[in-house]
Structure 1
């Protein structure tokens, strides 16, 4: 028996990883199971199993999926026979952890030796690693692909991908993955089976003497002389990143939130092999990886998740007035009423019988009411969060599952094979727990075996899957009208769902759309201003801060129907405002948020005596386009509103709760990077104003700009509150119109209301 875990041994903590197990049997036939046991928080253990049938002279391959809550050096797999005897054990190779700020390539190629360049292509990631895989090591479950940032398919026969592998790959791309398909001599076996998702139509290959456009674009001369073998294609759907006189060299198309690239040259051959410019090509791929807001990373707050899924309105406790009324009736009947009745019949000596009888009656009544309130059916509660994009075919779903049992019992739960599930303990805030279950079994379906429940107990689980997206279309367009930027959004609900409390989230601000019934459409318009007196606060918890809009009420604490939705918002949102250089505010995403009373996952208990209730929160990105009106000189002058800038923290010292608005400096400093949304690729800044707003008119800070030509920070002279125009802006405007600003406190305790650049320039048509 041999075990291969993760992606070439790489894995991410708290992300599902595949475990590939090869079992050969030369002895007597065995009917048994494979087991993997993972130690979780404290002394709890979670066991994953898969049944296996091993006739004599058999050789089988089994794939299981596990979740590692912390670092593990190896994964051990045990084989047990049908009598519970351990037959064999095997360990995986040493595992290597990939942190959240590190990059992981998955490379399927006939020759891994020529892909060492990938370790140098990392952009702002701390480290890049390449996992070299075979085609059959690409999982059939899309959830397990999330550890990978980029997948490269090079010189391999992609027709060998199973339907489940192909669907898992498409789900991963739709969720933000970057897929690179290469050309060269092997273009037919690699590209043709994937022709329907490529940005180009490939027609053949050809030797080309020189590719000067690629040398110019990367500013790196080729090491090896031509001719160079290149796949010949025409652009079909997407854009050209690099091309030679219109011949695609690197082309890209969007697929949901991700991208599919076609790289025409063979990366193992000249000119790309051992060429310094190759890094620029791979970093062009990496530049399409969009950073995600915190709330797109799934459940973060386990306590809030547990509170949400266990807050069943039908099982709510009696209110304080109801309990008070019951106690009042009890006291009145056992006291004055009982006394007056006995006195009237002159039988007060019977009080020793009537008082116990009244006590027994009210006790029985309390028991009957309580038993009725807890019900007789088990309840399966699903709180789903669906992440996707309006033009994507599928969406990612994470489901918080609560299994309520009115009595002490043991249950099984069955889920579809394209999903993954684990128990969690919200009381201790752990993302994984033993959950009082026997095991999670991988067979034709996913089965959680022997879930042990007590009376009126709710067991909690987290499940992940991908499902088809609802038929909802829409578009967000930024229009330049006489130098003023306007946003126009259209949403068309072609599904059979009523989208409740629909809203548009842009940056940190939500705009209500109301309910959107099936078959109806709605629009929203917004004008961007560049007012220096009313900046838009950038929040790292926009869902919570706009809860009154997203929930349709401010009374979400006491409303039993709305409270679980409020807790669900809390569960998926976390505010990371601690010192560090990883904070970003990428606002170039406009999201449709809406609710439905709907279940998304097909989860079946092993009993017919149950009811299912569900709530789904949709978070669907809206495709963003532009309409820039033509002018006679083929240019348009425009000022980029601060809300149309992405910003991130480059570095800082002793600054907490970092934000470009409401920033507090206590003898510390912060370096920010600002860049217009990607939709402004054709924008060229010509004027630069640095805005520093503060209630302290003395402004005890120094502000410096990064000089891209001199590669150094230069302090601004004569800094004043408000707008500070830069007379010679060119050295301070970098690639993509990026501006970097450093602000330092020259004395302790300085409050900055806002700091950002205003960029004015031309949009080339």
Structure 2
């Protein structure tokens, strides 16, 4: 009875009834909020694709593709890429994107990799709205595989997933970071920025996929090819080639028919012959790891369908079977196109047991990777200081000087003598030992002022901005494609932030990369980089009395700044250099047949012809050693806190820049690779393949507008133009 009465009174109370009725409404509101939140999240899809199918190379730009699908309300978003690993903590990148309702957008953001280790390369990628609120994010995004600089990477657009090229892996003596990698890319997210393709050594393209590429993707691929890439085309059908004008134009042969080759043992013999590949030479004289490769009788007994046609005059037949070309290659700029006339994605090649070894040879994987003996020397050669440090030693402000270690020791010794014996003797004579409580703080203040004064005299100066441009001139019809690397050094007399901008067609920005010996990170302060379309606007922080190095990589179409031709006449080279610039080229060198010749000065806006004996000139390796042997000590000296007797500065800029262009010869002379270079900087492979290289120095001039958006009291700018041309050799006959 008591319980019944209590419940009756509770429901007779009006406030109690209101509270009881409020509970369903409250829960309904909570459920509504949860539903709306989940609906908003479902309306926004945010995906991030890192590198080349998760493969990221060291010391190279790679693409971060962000795919945003917005089925919710329209808004203007900002995508931020923030490093969260052990490196690049202060190098943040962002890009703004309009996201109307019902749109799907893909953005390619170039990011520079500064490590070879997966556990160090971690990024947080966020999508923010106009108020800075996070709408979607992918945290702790890391690569599937991180590879060392110089490791072979093959990108691929196969016809099917099962046709993906798989490169044979190296021996257990080789570390994971130098194992070759292949990456299957999708046409929908293939980057259209040529800078982000430079991390790949070669690219396999099935002819059936060529028609799916957009105009911008094709332009980026051709630019990468012109700079030195290796495009491998697997021909599926004749119509694939003839129906795609850009592909037909660069093919090394005209395809017109299909035929069957019943016997093709030459393919296996070609692999057993060694890992020289299509072009690469075996510099290290490593034994052939495929010499005892087992045969595949099933493959050899199966007939092979081959596309046939006419090989062009400028092309070379790499491999034939029964007089039928199977592999044909030709040069395109500094790069080359290789046609596989028997599709590797069809039987019997698809089931060939030695297909991974075939891809290893096509990708020109160094034979050292497959060495079964101790491979420590080769592993070691893939690390070192970065070549950025060499450029820093050239253009760092001379206003910054370092206190020699000897003087530091003298200063320390004097300080110890003053606060110790001298103070005791002086106070003892005065018979006032208790005054040490006053004299000691005075000594500290005095020496602090002295140290500040020394620092002021050694490092104080005026705002300074120095630029050094390394520009590759690539022919594109009658025009030129300029692939530039701008090294910029800024000195600041105060703690300050500075704005930097580059408006070239494609441009990126990064801090100094110190290399694996320096911990694999940027050696620069905070930088906020905003990608504005395909170029950038950055704000950097420079501490007081310091000099910081930054790098901008860029592409730009332009009129030809220089041009040259070279022909062989008996025992002479006849070279004609055309200078289309409004300033003279003060120091010009020509590299040909393993030698370097000095052409002196080329006047402005005039051509000049030289007749040079083939016996003249200096050996290229000797030149590189003469002007580059001090690079290692200069880079190491820059990272020392105290002076090293002037070893951290390089004063001969023209010859040093020429030596940098052939750094692999320096590594051969020294017996190890001590400087890590980004892709495309080293022209040694180009020089070895019957090409002449012109290197022209233009003083006090720049090919682009100054990147600094602030006034400076001091400034210097110089440019090294680099251009290649094939020697007039006879085309190979069939």
TM-score by length of 2: 0.62
Aligned to 1:420: 508
Q: Structure 2 matches for 1:30-49, cutoff 5 A?
A: 30-38=75-83, 44-49=89-94
Aligned to 1:260: 337
Q: Is the 8 A contact 1:117 1:279 kept in 2?
A: yes
Aligned partner of residue 345 in structure 2, secondary structure: coil
Aligned partner of residue 168 in structure 2, secondary structure: helix
Name which of 271, 295, 305 aligns with 1:229: 305
Give the superposition deviation at 1:132: 0.7
Q: CA separation in 2, counterparts of 1:581 and 1:478?
A: 38
Task: Sort the Cα spacing of 1:438 and 1:130 in 2 relative to 1 into closer, same or farther, 3 A.
Answer: closer
Task: Sort the Cα spacing of 1:99 and 1:286 in 2 relative to 1 into closer, same or farther, 3 A.
Answer: same
CA shift digits 1:552-588 (9 cap, x unpaired): xxxxx99x99655467568775854666699999773
For the aligned residue pairs, the C-alpha RMSD in angstroms reads 4.9
Q: CA separation in 1, counterparts of 2:481 and 2:110?
A: 22
Name which of 525, 529, 536 aligns with 2:613: 525
Q: Structure 2 matches for 1:707-718, cutoff 5 A?
A: none
Task: Sort the Cα spacing of 1:570 and 1:59 in 2 relative to 1 into closer, same or farther, 3 A.
Answer: same
Q: Structure 2 matches for 1:653-664, cutoff 5 A?
A: none
Name which of 688, 693, 697 aligns with 1:588: 688
Q: CA separation in 1, counterparts of 2:714 and 2:211?
A: 43
Give the superposition deviation at 1:184: 2.2
Aligned partner of residue 597 in structure 2, secondary structure: strand
Q: Structure 2 matches for 1:201-600, cutoff 5 A?
A: 201-203=254-256, 205-212=257-264, 214=266, 218=270, 223=299, 228-236=304-312, 237-244=314-321, 247-276=324-353, 278=355, 282=359, 285-287=362-364, 300-311=386-397, 381-387=466-472, 394=481, 396-403=483-490, 410-415=497-502, 416-424=504-512, 433=522, 435-452=524-541, 459-467=548-556, 470-475=561-566, 477=568, 488=573, 490-493=575-578, 495-496=580-581, 498-505=584-591, 510-517=596-603, 518-527=606-615, 541-544=625-628, 564-565=653-654, 575-576=666-667, 588=688, 591-597=693-699, 598-600=701-703
Q: CA separation in 1, counterparts of 2:356 and 2:87?
A: 45
Give the superposition deviation at 1:33: 0.8
Give the superposition deviation at 1:26: 3.9
Give the superposition deviation at 1:502: 1.3
Task: Sort the Cα spacing of 1:408 and 1:514 in 2 relative to 1 into closer, same or farther, 3 A.
Answer: same
Q: Is the 8 A contact 2:510 2:551 kept in 1?
A: yes
Comparing both structures, which one devotes a greater share of its residues to strand?
1
Give the superposition deviation at 1:216: 8.0
Give the superposition deviation at 1:198: 1.4
Q: Is the 8 A contact 1:299 1:571 kept in 2?
A: no
Name which of 108, 113, 123 aligns with 1:75: 123
Aligned partner of residue 172 in structure 1, secondary structure: helix
Aligned to 2:52: 7
CA shift digits 1:660-719 (9 cap, x unpaired): xxxxxxxxxxxxxxxxxxx9x99xxxxxxxxxxxxxxxxxxxxxxxxxxxxxxxxxxxxx
CA shift digits 1:483-510 (9 cap, x unpaired): xxx5635243253363322123468864
CA shift digits 1:43-97 (9 cap, x unpaired): 8421010112333443322221212322344432112222222232114464301
Aligned to 2:10: none
Give the superposition deviation at 1:112: 2.9
Q: Which moved more, 1:173-182 or 1:82-91?
A: 82-91
* Number of equivalenced pairs: 548
Task: Sort the Cα spacing of 1:594 and 1:430 in 2 relative to 1 into closer, same or farther, 3 A.
Answer: farther
Q: Is the 8 A contact 2:400 2:546 kept in 1?
A: no
Give the superposition deviation at 1:135: 1.9
2:86 is the counterpart of 1:86: no
Aligned to 1:152: 204
Q: CA separation in 1, counterparts of 2:154 and 2:505?
A: 26
2:138 is the counterpart of 1:96: no
Q: Which moved more, 1:514-523 or 1:457-466?
A: 457-466
Comparing both structures, which one devotes a greater share of its residues to helix?
2
Task: Sort the Cα spacing of 1:161 and 1:602 in 2 relative to 1 into closer, same or farther, 3 A.
Answer: farther
Give the superposition deviation at 1:397: 2.3
Name which of 229, 235, 241 aligns with 1:183: 235
Q: Is the 8 A contact 1:77 1:90 kept in 2?
A: yes
Give the superposition deviation at 1:195: 1.4
Q: Which moved more, 1:509-518 or 1:223-232?
A: 223-232
CA shift digits 1:176-196 (9 cap, x unpaired): 211011212375168644111
Task: Sort the Cα spacing of 1:272 and 1:543 in 2 relative to 1 into closer, same or farther, 3 A.
Answer: farther
Aligned to 1:623: 726
Aligned to 2:161: 112
Q: CA separation in 2, counterparts of 1:608 and 1:540?
A: 37
Q: CA separation in 2, counterparts of 1:80 and 1:191?
A: 41
Q: CA separation in 2, counterparts of 1:426 and 1:147?
A: 18
CA shift digits 1:377-411 (9 cap, x unpaired): x8753201234678995453211023567887644
Task: Sort the Cα spacing of 1:146 and 1:165 in 2 relative to 1 into closer, same or farther, 3 A.
Answer: same
Q: Structure 2 matches for 1:744-763, cutoff 5 A?
A: none
Task: Sort the Cα spacing of 1:208 and 1:566 in 2 relative to 1 into closer, same or farther, 3 A.
Answer: closer
Aligned partner of residue 258 in structure 2, secondary structure: strand
Aligned partner of residue 395 in structure 2, secondary structure: helix
Q: Is the 8 A contact 1:516 1:522 kept in 2?
A: no
Q: CA separation in 2, counterparts of 1:298 and 1:120?
A: 24
Q: CA separation in 2, counterparts of 1:400 and 1:383?
A: 5
Task: Sort the Cα spacing of 1:430 and 1:523 in 2 relative to 1 into closer, same or farther, 3 A.
Answer: farther
Name which of 66, 72, 84 aligns with 1:21: 66
Give the superposition deviation at 1:210: 2.4
Give the superposition deviation at 1:309: 2.7
TM-score by length of 1: 0.60
Q: Is the 8 A contact 2:315 2:331 kept in 1?
A: yes
Q: Is the 8 A contact 2:572 2:611 kept in 1?
A: no
Q: Is the 8 A contact 2:168 2:360 kept in 1?
A: no
Q: Is the 8 A contact 1:199 1:253 kept in 2?
A: yes
Aligned partner of residue 268 in structure 1, secondary structure: coil
Q: Is the 8 A contact 1:200 1:233 kept in 2?
A: yes
Structure 1: 5+ residue runs without aligned partners? 292-296, 318-369, 480-485, 548-556, 628-678, 683-764
Q: Is the 8 A contact 1:152 1:179 kept in 2?
A: yes
Aligned partner of residue 249 in structure 2, secondary structure: helix
